[in-house]
Amino acid sequence: LHKQVMPFVLRRTKDQVLKDLPPKIIQDIFVDLSPHQKRLYDAFEGSSVKSEVAAAISGGDGAEGAGGGSSGSGGGTTHVFQALQYLRKLCSHPRLVMGTGKKAGKGTAAQVAAAYSPKFLALKQILLDCGVGVDPTAEVNAD
């Protein structure tokens, strides 16, 4: 089957397809946490999870816990990767860690998303700078 299918499979790299593609540009844009994200982050900082993760990292228990078993000291240690996943979700949008049961607030979905996660405002500004989308204030001024 492999020999019959191989003539139909295209395996080309970017170099073989087009020589004049520009290099990929990666930009880091720093955005401050919203007040709600700061409260959740501070709650994480004050929890016992942070100290357990720090102990796991300094003691080397993080790698041992990756096998699915618990570490030798107590068995209830939060896995390092779970804590990192929690922080990643918190920085992306706090509703990812809060769940969907809590009300987000009043306003449209876009207003609520922007209030809870400033990344959306930064993304909107980047898209407007690139000419993608329409700035509502520009439409009003153009009339």
Q: What is the pLDDT of residues 79-115, one digit of tens each?
A: 788 888 999 999 888 888 887 555 555 667 666 666 7
Taking the C-alpha atoms of residue 98 and residue 33, their distance in angstroms, rounded to an integer, is: 16
Q: Which residue has the higher pLDDT, 83 or 61?
A: 83
Q: Is the predicted pLDDT of residue 66 greater than 50, yes or no?
A: no
Number of Cβ atoms within 10 Å of the Cβ of 90:
22
Token output for 71: 């570490």
Mean pLDDT across the stretch 41-64?
Answer: 78
Number of Cβ atoms within 10 Å of the Cβ of 96:
15
Mean pLDDT across the stretch 115-128?
Answer: 85
pLDDT, residue 42, reads 92
pTM of the model: 0.58
State the DSSP code for 31: -
pLDDT, residue 106, reads 64
